[in-house]
Amino acid sequence: MRFRFFQILACSVFLLVLALPTSEASAQQETVHIVSPSGPYTSLSAALEAAKPGDRIEVHGGVYDGPLLVDKSVELIGIDWPVIDGNSSGTVVMLGAPNTVFSGFVISNSGASLDEENSGIAGEAPNLVIENNRLEETLFGIYLREAEGSIIRGNYIQSKDLDLARRGDPIRVWYSDNVLIEANEVKKGRDVVLWYSEHLTVKDNTITGGRYGLHFMYCDDATITDNLLAYNSVGTFMMYSRRLQLIHNTIAYNHGPSGFGIGLKDMDDALVKDNLFLANRVGAHLDNSPREVDSLGTYEGNVFAYNDIGVNLMPSVRHNQFSSNSFLENQEHVDIGGGGMTKDNQWTVGEIGNFWSDYAGYDQAGDGIGDEEYSADRLFENLTSRHPILRLFIFSPSSQAVDFAAKAVPFVRPQPKLTDSQPLMAPVFPEQLPSLPEESNPLFVWISAGLVILASTAFLRGGGRLTKRVKNHPPSPGHPEVGIMPLIQIRNLTKRFKGTTVVDRLSLDIESGQAVALWGPNGAGKTTTLRCLIGLLPFDGQITVNDTDVRKQGKLVRKQVGFVPQELAFHDDLTVQETVHFYARLKGEASLQDQQFESILARVDLSGHEKKLVRELSGGLKQRLALAVALLADPIILVLDEPTSNLDVHARDDFLDLLLELKTSGMTFIFSSHRLEEIATLADRVLLLKNGKIIADCPPEELSDQTGWNVTLRVLLQKKDLKQALNTLSQHGFVASPNGKGIRVKVTPGHKGRPIRVLSEAGIQVEDFEIEQLNGS
């Protein structure tokens, strides 16, 4: 009897010891087993075999083969990161006894079978503590089945690098109430799955790069706080659960075709509070939540910032209250599937509304609440709700134009989808949210700075180098051998502008050293002929210059021709020096030396004007500059279009002197003019053009004979001298007639001064004279 009593007592004590592993009694009896590659135990299974429940097994650094079945309630503590290697088959560690503590291990290489749910650590007993482990290359990470009251804390879990569809879940909790999941770091898994488990606590975890950060089903009374859920497809998807508390989490950058920060389906009485929803496709997606008629969804103090859509409500959603939330710069703050209004959802609760970054009202009272209601009535959003395809135009000014039009024209303004009668004037940010990983890159600032420097260099120095030397062009073709063939050959040159024939089958040869004038009224085709000659205009017929076909090798021709246009069109903002250098480079005189430059200017009497802007030059000086440019690169032909038409008398004479000098040096000229004195001075040969045809080709002296035209000089004299003057002139063979105060005398071009001389020699004082308009021109 007494023995039996002791037997029962001993049994009770033993059971008590078993039931209270952390009590003082067990601490006193706990045995520590050491496993390390050098012993005493070299394998985990051997140590486990020897251990009694409640013992502590310390495993030192080294690699140990899995799989490992822990079927005793022991503490397995890794020191210096011992590795348990599953050798790519099956589950690596199975915890089958309650109250087991498993901490400090590296678990690697589970099998890859989704059907068998190969895991890093599988727990199938209550009150497990799985802490501070690193799981690498495992399919599923930590898998709890019916393990209520367990703790998963401080683990680092990175799944096998597989396609999303072939990955396993980094954490899965199945039929296990009161589980704490805390401070784990989960990367690139599929979903953290929490199913059929009540009173879960999920806090301080970082879950990134997966499909569903958290995936709830049938988990009533869960608390989710202070987690960072980022870069997943969905931050957390919660279904069929009651009384969820989602508080103070950062939910950011969750993207994908159906990406949500959080998604709620059939969730009753959820409280979503003080979270940051940042840059998700959709911040919060509400589908049939709440489900029951008498339940409520509460959203307060959250920040929805930079999401494509802040809150997305499916058509039937109602009974949600939104207050103190801050909607900041979302592409669309609130979207209602299928369009329409957010019926039976409240955007002002009590006297508190939300902050809307596009609210344009004011706060006269200074109480932090806008005086006008906020109303979301953007037409473009209305369009995209009904025609989601039009979202393609988001970010386009056209979408803003649509909204602007709706604002300006009230009758196309849609019904507001929501109104908030007490909008907040300033956003409210929850304090100390879980922060996103730092991505700052010091290189960035340097690259930015590099770009700025690049821009400034191009900007400040670009073009400041017009005078810079570049490689020399090949030398231009030499002067032609005189007499073999005409220097310029024009055959059947025809040019039409819009049906009008301006030059008509014109043929012409010009020998080297000749000075040829094109003479004729305006519209005779002089300028057009000259422009065709240097290939400025397309034409019919053939022109060769120094044996070069103008149409085929216009550039080569222009290299040998200096051109002075009628209308002097320089770039006004260049100096004389810059202008000369610019054209010198185009003509292949890249390395124009200062000396050469000076001699060019001196040749046309432009010295001293080097630094002047072209627009400051007088007409005469501009003409000289044009000649200087034309003379660059030693042309063999000068083409001048009305060279003196814009000059005053004095400048004209000087300029003609310059041209004469050039002529004496053997330059070939072709120029257009309607000034006879110019032709008489310069030309060896005059071509009279009319309607695009040459009607006369003669030396200038014969021009009057050829044409029957003459110049009339009107000489003004004192009245008393008139008679004597008439006599004198007649004696010298002039045809003269009185005309008012003066006398009209016919003169031949080139000899206009003779009557004046004759009169002077006869002692008659000439007061004034003028050349009258040419007959017939």
Partner 1 sequence: MLDFNNIITITLKELQDARRNRWYLIYVLVFTGLSLALAWLGMTGLGDYGLAGFGRTAASIINIVLLVVPLMGLTLGAISLAGERERSTLLYLLAQPVTQLEVLLGKYIGLAIALFSALVLGFGISGILITLQGGSAEINIYLLMVLLAFMLALVCLSIGFLISSMVRKGSTAVSIALFTWLLLLVFGDLGLMGTSIVLNLGVDQLFTLTLLNPMQIFKIAAILNIRGSLEVLGPAGIYALRTYGPQLLPGLVAVLAAWTLVPMSLAYFSFRRTGAL
Beta-strand (E) ranges in 498-558? 500-510, 515-519, 540-545, 548-549
Pick one of 350, 366, 463, 475: the residue that binds partner 1 (CB under 8 A): 463
Q: Which two tokens stand for residue 564?
A: 């002075």
Distance between CA 135 and CA 84 in Å, rounded?
A: 10
Pick one of 456, 507, 718, 727: the residue that binds partner 1 (CB under 8 A): 456
Pick one of 52, 56, 145, 255: the residue that binds partner 1 (CB under 8 A): 255
Pick one of 8, 15, 452, 735: the residue that binds partner 1 (CB under 8 A): 452
CA distances from 71 to 102, 176, 744 (A): 12, 19, 138
C-beta of 435 vs 731, nearer to partner 1: 435
Q: Is 278 in the site for partner 1 (CB under 8 A)?
A: yes
Q: Is 248 in the site for partner 1 (CB under 8 A)?
A: no
DSSP readout, 169-186? -SEEEES-TT-EEES-EE
Q: Cis link prior to 40 (omega < 30° from 0)? A: yes
Q: Is 10 in the site for partner 1 (CB under 8 A)?
A: no
Q: Cis link prior to 67 (omega < 30° from 0)? A: yes
Which listed range, 311-319, 532-540, 542-550, 685-693, lies at the site for partner 1 (CB under 8 A)? Answer: 532-540
Q: Is 464 in the site for partner 1 (CB under 8 A)?
A: yes
Distance between CA 546 and CA 16 in Å, rounded?
A: 121
Pick one of 13, 15, 409, 447: the residue that binds partner 1 (CB under 8 A): 447
Q: Is 536 in the site for partner 1 (CB under 8 A)?
A: yes
Q: Is 741 in the site for partner 1 (CB under 8 A)?
A: no
Q: Is 436 in the site for partner 1 (CB under 8 A)?
A: yes
Least distance CB 445 / partner 1 (angstroms): 4
Which listed range, 395-403, 516-524, 702-710, 729-737, lies at the site for partner 1 (CB under 8 A)? Answer: 395-403
Pick one of 567, 649, 719, 763: the residue that binds partner 1 (CB under 8 A): 567
> Hey, is 739 helix, strand or coil?
strand
Least distance CB 331 / partner 1 (angstroms): 6
Q: Is 163 in the site for partner 1 (CB under 8 A)?
A: no
Q: Is 305 in the site for partner 1 (CB under 8 A)?
A: yes
Residue 242: alpha-carbon gap to chain centroid: 48
DSSP readout, 428-448? ---SSPPPPPP---HHHHHHH
Least distance CB 424 / partner 1 (angstroms): 14
C-beta of 389 vs 484, nearer to partner 1: 389
> How many residues at the interface with partner 1, by CB under 8 A?
89
Farthest CA pair distance, the chain: 183
Interface of this chain with partner 1, residues 314 to 333, rule: CB under 8 A: 328, 331
C-beta of 350 vs 437, nearer to partner 1: 437
272 in Cβ contact with 299 (< 8 Å):
yes
C-beta of 411 vs 459, nearer to partner 1: 459
Cβ contacts of residue 457 below 8 Å, gap of 6+? none
Q: Which two tokens stand for residue 177?
A: 């109430």
C-beta of 256 vs 753, nearer to partner 1: 256
Distance between CA 363 and CA 368 in Å, rounded?
A: 7
- The contact mask relative to partner 1 for 117-146 (x = CB under 8 A, - = no) is ------------------------------
Pick one of 13, 63, 449, 695: the residue that binds partner 1 (CB under 8 A): 449
722 in Cβ contact with 743 (< 8 Å):
yes
- The contact mask relative to partner 1 for 570-599 (x = CB under 8 A, - = no) is xx-x--------xx-xxxx-x---------
Least distance CB 323 / partner 1 (angstroms): 21
CA distances from 427 to 377, 418, 433 (A): 21, 19, 15
Interface of this chain with partner 1, residues 352 to 391, rule: CB under 8 A: 383-384, 387-391
Beta-strand (E) ranges in 196-296? 201-203, 206-208, 212-217, 223-225, 228-230, 234-239, 245-247, 250-252, 260-265, 271-273, 276-278, 282-287
Q: Is 611 in the site for partner 1 (CB under 8 A)?
A: no
Pick one of 183, 349, 537, 756: the residue that binds partner 1 (CB under 8 A): 537
Helix extents (H) in 587-734: 594-603, 619-631, 649-664, 676-682, 703-707, 722-731
Q: Is 259 in the site for partner 1 (CB under 8 A)?
A: yes
Q: Is 271 in the site for partner 1 (CB under 8 A)?
A: no
